[in-house]
Amino acid sequence: MSNPQNKAFPVSWDQFHRDARALAWRLASSGPFQAVVCITRGGLVPTAIVARELGIKLIETVCVASYHDYTSQGELRVLKEIAEKVVALGGPDGAGILVIDDLVDTGKTARVVRDMLPKAHFATVYAKPLGRPLVDTFITEVSQDTWIYFPWDLGLAFQEPISDVSRG
Ligand SMILES: O=P(O)(O)OC[C@H]1O[C@H](OP(=O)(O)OP(=O)(O)O)[C@H](O)[C@@H]1O
Ligand SMILES: O=c1[nH]c(=O)c2nc[nH]c2[nH]1
Ligand SMILES: [Mg+2]
């Protein structure tokens, strides 16, 4: 993982929707895809948006967990594998399958899923440099020392004013 995460990149729902739709536009010429494999949980929202745009209704999950307390990555565990009948829909080694996640950071998650479907098309909304070589299509790159804050992890909160002149 990419410690220290000294920069923050907060993403609103609007921005995420726009970025995920931009991903769908970019993917439209890379298909057709027989199915989407969504890497949960972060891939769930972009998968819904991309699948809607591309008209894909066959959606499978692969459930991977690794970040335990947000910024520190622990041992990577595959909680649920990809169903064989979904793998068989594509060509050999997953050709014709689209894999979607919210981001690639160190690339460890992407590596595990790529090993399951070496010829699938791997797409993420955001990418950091270490993971970027594992992704076929993405929208925005951020530096390795940036932590991306997704809208489903955020809430409205008071912000201290930039200047403290009003406090006398
Ligand atoms: O490139 P990596 O260093 O492997 O990190 C990227 C992965 O980390 C996050 O998932 P996380 O394991 O936190 O689980 P979640 O999707 O359930 O939030 C994110 O959604 C990616 O799947
Ligand atoms: O919300 C998140 N933001 C990130 O930058 C990140 N990297 C790995 N896993 C992550 N989760
Ligand atoms: Mg994830």
Predicted TM-score (pTM) of this structure: 0.93
The catalytic residue among 14, 69, 93, 102 is 102
Other C-beta atoms lying within 10 Å of the C-beta of residue 130: 15
How far apart are the C-alpha atoms of 125 and 134, rounded to whole Å? 13
Q: Residue 92: what pLDDT? A: 83
- Which pLDDT value is given to residue 36? 98
C-alpha of residue 91 to centroid of ligand 2, in Å: 31
Residue 162 alpha carbon to ligand 1 centre in Å = 33
Which ranges of 28-88 does DSSP label H, i.e. alpha helix?
Answer: 44-54, 84-87
Q: How many CB atoms lie within 10 A of CB 72?
A: 11
pLDDT in tens, the chain (168 residues): 445 678 999 999 999 999 999 999 999 999 999 999 999 999 999 999 999 999 999 999 999 988 766 666 778 999 999 999 998 888 889 999 999 999 999 999 999 999 999 999 999 999 999 999 999 999 999 999 999 999 999 999 998 998 877 665
- For residue 167, whether the previous peptide bond is cis, meaning omega lies within 30 degrees of 0, is no
pLDDT the model gives residue 20: 98
State the Cα–Cα distance between residues 113 and 122, nearest whole angstrom: 9
Q: Is 147 in the pocket of ligand 2 (CB under 6 A)?
A: yes
**Helix or strand (DSSP H, E) at 62:** strand 59-67
Cα of 55 from ligand 1 centre, angstroms? 26
Is 3.30.360.10 the CATH number for 7-152? no
**Is 69 designated active site?**
no
Ligand 1: which atom is nearest the Cα of residue 106? 3
Return the domain boundaries, the chain.
Answer: 7-152
* Contact (CB, 8 A) for 108 and 76: yes
pLDDT of residue 3: 55
